Amino acid sequence: MYAAVAAGGFRRYATYRTATAAGVFTNTVFGLILVYTYLALWDVRPHLGGYDRAQAVTYVWLGQAFLAALALGGGGAEDELMERIRTGDIAIDLYRPADLQLWWLCADVGRAMFQLIGRGVVPFVFGALCFPVALPADPLTWLAFAGTVLLAMLVGFGIRFLVALSAFWLMDGTGVVQMAWLAGFFCSGMLLPLNVFPGTLGEVVRALPWSSLLQAPADVLLGHADVPATYAFQGAWALALLAAGRLLQRAATRRVVVQGG
């Protein structure tokens, strides 16, 4: 059943072909802007954050490939879940003979897989063809990188599920969502690699769960990370966030009050 839910999430987003094409164009354009910004920065500070120019360019296009897949700018399952909580349709979800968290996790993984393939691959390939990039030749590195991407999806969902559940108490979670977006952009490394952040600030942001979304997979792909340690870090955050989501879900659904009655 849960495999069918994930497949349904994939097919659902695959139907929006025009939106996908627009997203590919937008990601490519913003990727170009970021690449030239990074190149200007790396001209002044070569090997900034331990990256050379080719690695910095690779980092940019990887971020554009992950932007929609990990819903760093919104568009994940949390938007629909929060709306269902607000309208009371969540009661239908709770009546299903399925686990609420696992149901939405599978749906979000299906969405993320489509966004990664449909909206992320083209900008990444474009960047690799038009700019010097640093891509590994070892297939094992690519395999290890794929594992970090899957763990990043779990961590990303864990964060956004907690955000969505806040609607049980707030009814309108727009403010929480916007705060989560800002934290996600800053702390995931989407604006700048976290390796660039100095001193205590760098240590703090690299220890937060958002670093599992982009910085950790990027460092594995670029050969700057210990793979077992990265897996342990991402896996620990995924388990902690999903467990927190389970506890918050239990507290929220102990007594559900639907607006209007």
Predicted pLDDT of residue 256: 55
Mean pLDDT computed over 66-82: 82
Tokens 């607006």 label which residue?
259
Q: Report d(CA 232, CA 239) in Å as an integer.
A: 10
Contact 242, 248 (CB under 8 A): no
Contact present, 132 and 54 (Cβ < 8 Å): yes
> Which residues have a Cβ under 8 Å from the Cβ of 19 and sit 6 or more positions away?
none
Tens-digit pLDDT profile for residues 112-123: 999 999 889 999
pLDDT value of residue 261 = 40
Output the pLDDT for position 159.
Answer: 93
pLDDT band (50, 70, 90) for residue 82 = confident
Residue 150 near residue 66 (C-beta atoms within 8 A):
no
Instruction: Note the maximum CA span of the chain.
Output: 62
**Tokens matching residue 23:** 């997203």
In this predicted model, what pLDDT tens digit does every residue of 165-186 receive, in sequence order? 888 888 777 788 888 888 888 8
Residue percentage of the chain with pLDDT more than 90: 54
Is 90 exceeded by the pLDDT of residue 193?
yes
HEC profile for 183-211? HHHHHHCCCCCHHHCCHHHHHHHHHCHHH
134 vs 56: CA distance, rounded Å: 9
Phi-psi region of 132 (alpha: psi -120 to 50; beta: other; left: phi over 0): beta
Q: What is the Cβ-side half-sphere exposure of residue 159, based on CA atoms within 13 angstroms?
A: 28
In a 3-state reduction of DSSP, which class is residue 74? Answer: coil
Q: Which stretches of the chain are DSSP H helices?
A: 2-14, 17-44, 53-69, 77-87, 90-95, 100-114, 121-130, 139-165, 167-170, 174-188, 199-207, 215-221, 227-253
Q: Where are the domains of the chain?
A: 2-253
pLDDT score, position 218: 95
Alpha-carbon distances, residue 118 vs 68, 111, 134, 171, 188 (angstroms): 10, 10, 23, 33, 22
Q: Tens digit of pLDDT for each residue in 8-45?
A: 888 888 888 888 899 899 999 999 999 999 999 999 99
Enter the pTM of the model: 0.90
Mean pLDDT of 225-233: 95
Q: Which residue has the tokens 């139907």?
A: 15
What mean pLDDT, rounded, does the chain reach? 89
